[in-house]
A and B are shown apart, each in its own frame.
Chain A
Amino acid sequence: MLKVENLKAYYQTEMYGVSRNVRAVDGVSLELQKNEVYGIAGESSCGKTTLIRTLFGAFDPPLRVVEGTVTYSLDGESVDVTKIQGERLRQIRWKQVSYILQGSMSLLNPVRKIRKTFWDFTRAHEPITDAEKFEAMARNHLNRLGLPAQVLDSYPHQLSGGMKQRVAIALATLFEPKVILADEPTTALDVIVQRGVLQLLKRIQRETQSTLVIVTHDMGIHANIADRVAIMYAGRIVEEGRVKHIFGDPLHPYTKHLIESLPKIGDKSTRTSIPGAPPNLGDPPPGCRFHPRCPYAEPICRRESPHLAAVANDRRVACFLVTTKENAHVS
Chain B
Amino acid sequence: MSSTFLRYIAQRVVQCILVIFIGITITFLVPRFSPTDPVEAAVNRAMMMGQYSHPDAVRMMKEALTKMYGLDGTLGQQYIRFWKGLLSGDLGPSLSSFPKPVMSLIRTSLPWTAGLLLVSAIISWTVGNLLGCLAGYFGNQRWSQVIGMIAMALHPIPYYIMAFVLLVALAYVIPVFPIGGAVDIGLKPSLGWIYISSLLRHAFLPALSLVLIGVGGWFIGMRTLVTNVVAEDYVTYAKYAGVSDRTIMYQYVMKNALLPQITGLAMQIGLIFNGALITEYVFSYPGLGYLAYNAIFTGDYSLIMGVAIFSIVGVSLAVLLIDLAYPLFDPRVKYQ
Contacts and interface: CB of A to CB of B under 8 A. Distances in A.
Do A and B actually bind? yes
Interface of A: 56, 58, 90, 93-94, 99, 101, 103, 106-113, 116-117, 120-121, 123-125, 155, 157-158, 168, 171-172
Contact of B234 (A99, A106, A116, A125): A106
Interface string B288-303: 0000000000000000
B242 interface: yes
A40 B117 CA distance: 60
Contacts of B244: 123-124
Contacts of A90: 242
Interface stretch (B64-72, B92-100, B153-161, B325-333): B325-333
Contact of B240 (A58, A108, A112, A120): A58
A94 B234 contact: no
Q: Which 10 A-B pairs have the closest CB atoms?
A: A124-B242, A106-B233, A155-B331, A103-B233, A90-B242, A107-B237, A109-B234, A120-B243, A111-B255, A124-B243
Interface in B232-262: 232-234, 236-238, 240-244, 247, 251-252, 255-256, 259
B255 A112 contact: yes
A241 B71 CA distance: 94
Contacts of A121: 238, 241, 243
A110 B332 contact: yes
Interface in B282-336: 329-332, 335-336
Given A111-B330, A123-B244, A124-B243, 14 more contacts: A101-B233, A101-B237, A101-B240, A106-B234, A108-B234, A108-B237, A109-B255, A110-B332, A111-B259, A120-B238, A120-B243, A121-B238, A155-B332, A157-B336
B234 A107 contact: yes
B332 A157 contact: yes
B86 to A, nearest CB: 42
A93 B238 contact: no
Contacts of B234: 106-110
Interface residues of B, number: 23
B246 to A, nearest CB: 11
Contacts, number: 69
A101 B332 contact: no
A111 B242 CA distance: 19
Nearest to B259: A111
B240 A56 contact: yes
A171 B238 CA distance: 10
A125 B237 contact: no
A116 B244 CA distance: 14
B237 to A, nearest CB: 5
A109 B238 contact: yes
B211 to A, nearest CB: 28
Contact of B241 (A103, A113, A124): A124
Contacts of B329: 111
B240 A111 contact: no
Contacts of B238: 109, 117, 120-121
Nearest to B334: A155
Nearest to B332: A157
17 contacts: A56-B240, A93-B240, A93-B241, A94-B241, A94-B242, A99-B240, A106-B232, A106-B233, A109-B256, A110-B234, A111-B255, A112-B252, A113-B331, A125-B242, A155-B332, A157-B332, A158-B335
Contacts of A112: 251-252, 255
Contacts of A113: 331
Contacts of B243: 120-121, 123-124
Most buried by B among A58, A103, A111, A155: A111
A101 B236 contact: yes
A116 B240 contact: no
B255 to A, nearest CB: 5
A109 B335 CA distance: 17
B217 to A, nearest CB: 24
A155 B256 CA distance: 13
